[in-house]
Amino acid sequence: MDERLRNQVEKERRDLTILRAVIAEGPIGIVKLSDRTDVPEHKVRYSLRMLENDEFIEPTPEGAVPADDIGERLAQVNEGIDDLIGRLERVRDDDVEMP
C-alpha cells in the first residue's frame, strides 16, 4: 500500500515541478520543459495532459501557459494538501488490531 502512495506522491511532485516551470517560463513547450526540469519528454507530456485536464494550464501554439486563475487554483491545492496531511496522520495513528 505504501508503495502505491509513494508513486502517486512522486507523480504529483513531478506535475508540480512542470507547473512551476510553466508559470515561470510559459509559454513553453515539451522539449524546453524537459531540459529545464530534467524530466523525460514522455513524462512531461503526461504531466501536461493531467495539468490541462485539471485546468491548471492551457495549451497555445507557442507552448503551455498557466491558467488565468492559477493563483486561486494553487491556493486550493495547498488547502487540499493540508487536509490530506491531516487525514494521513489520522490513518497512521489509528489503532490496527494485529492477529
pLDDT higher than threshold 70 for residue 99: no
User: pTM for the full model?
Assistant: 0.82
Are 30 and 41 in contact by the 8 Å Cβ rule? The answer is yes
* DSSP label of 5: H
Single-letter residue type at 68: D
pLDDT category of residue 92 using cuts at 50, 70 and 90: confident
Residue 50 contacts residue 17 (beta carbons within 8 Å)? no
Query: What is the reported pLDDT for 21?
Result: 97
Residue 35 cell numbers, joined? 531540459
> Span 29-35, mean pLDDT?
97
Long-range CB contact pairs, 4-10, < 8 A, 24+: none
Q: Which long-range contacts (CB under 8 A, 24 or more apart) does 31-35 make?
A: 32/63, 33/64
- pLDDT of residue 98 exceeding 60, the answer is no
* Residue bearing the bigger pLDDT, 24 or 98: 24
